[in-house]
């Protein structure tokens, strides 16, 4: 009989302020838009029937605001992990996606390849990202064996986590959509992970 898995619910923060749409925000500590606040409420509603043993959160404002309705509904407190903060995009920070090729000579759509190859000036490389994010996930998995844990963080961080858990190169996660306030579920056991749900958006009507 297989041991019970540790279930990770990886939740991206809600939509950010309109000023930062289509921008490499990274370490900019922006807030949520009104739509983002509603998305956060929809996350709390989605998890109403789901038992959670713990909730972890990035220290950044957009993640903390996303987690708040969930924490309030569960009567729980978040355990903040500083190393779950978003990717530092270095010199790309604050630039719009369409500006990247003009300013830096590469397509913004290759951002994961650029991070992996450490070619974004003054940004975190793939190795640096894994060195700070993987210990967070290892700690969560060790602390909460065979439990269910929500992790509220960022799109870039979720890609690094999925890359590590599924043992696939980080640039290949470009094929995964990780939308605002999406829920992504991975069951982890024996140093292996099975992706059970990808990019579920409870706030978006099912057509």
**Domain CATH for 78:** 3.40.50.1240
Can you give the chain as a three-state secondary structure string?
CCCCCEEEEEEECCCECHHHCCECCCCCCCCECHHHHHHHHHHHHHCCCCCCCEEEECCCHHHHHHHHHHHHHHCCCCEECHHHCCCCCHHHCCCEHHHHHHHHCCCHHHHHHHHHCCCCCCCCCHHHHHHHHHHHHHHHHHHCCCCEEEEEECHHHHHHHHHHHHCCCHHHHHHCCCCCCCEEEEEEECCEEEEEEEEECCCCCCC
Q: What is the pLDDT of residue 1?
A: 42
Query: Has residue 160 been placed in a domain?
Result: yes
Domain that holds residue 94: 6-200
Query: Has residue 205 been placed in a domain?
Result: no
Query: Has residue 81 been placed in a domain?
Result: yes
Query: Has residue 54 been placed in a domain?
Result: yes
Query: Has residue 1 been placed in a domain?
Result: no
The predicted-structure confidence for 27-78, as pLDDT tens digits, reads as follows 999 999 999 999 999 999 999 999 999 999 999 999 999 999 999 999 999 9
Q: What is the pLDDT of residue 2?
A: 53
- What pTM was estimated for this model as a whole? 0.96
* Total tally of structural domains belonging to the chain: 1
Residues of the chain with pLDDT under 50: 1, 207
């Amino acid at each position: 009989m297989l041991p019970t898995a540790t279930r990770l619910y990886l939740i991206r923060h809600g939509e950010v302020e309109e000023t930062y749409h289509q921008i490499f925000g990274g370490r900019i500590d922006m807030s949520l838009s009104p739509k983002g606040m509603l998305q956060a409420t929809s996350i709390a509603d989605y998890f109403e029937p789901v038992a959670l043993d713990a909730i972890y959160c990035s220290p950044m404002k957009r993640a903390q605001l996303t987690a708040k309705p969930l924490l309030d509904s569960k009567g729980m407190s978040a355990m903040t992990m500083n190393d779950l903060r978003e990717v530092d995009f270095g010199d790309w920070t604050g630039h719009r996606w369409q500006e990247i090729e003009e300013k830096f000579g590469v397509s913004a759509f290759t951002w994961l390849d650029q991070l992996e190859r450490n070619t974004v000036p003054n940004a975190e490389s793939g190795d640096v990202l894994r060195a700070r994010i993987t210990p967070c996930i290892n700690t969560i998995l060790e602390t909460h064996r065979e439990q269910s844990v929500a992790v509220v963080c960022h799109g870039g961080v979720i890609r690094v986590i999925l890359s590590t858990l599924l043992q696939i190169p980080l640039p290949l996660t470009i094929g995964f959509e990780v939308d605002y306030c999406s829920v992504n579920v991975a069951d982890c056991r024996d140093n292996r992970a099975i992706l059970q749900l990808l990019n579920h958006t409870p706030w978006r009507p099912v057509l």
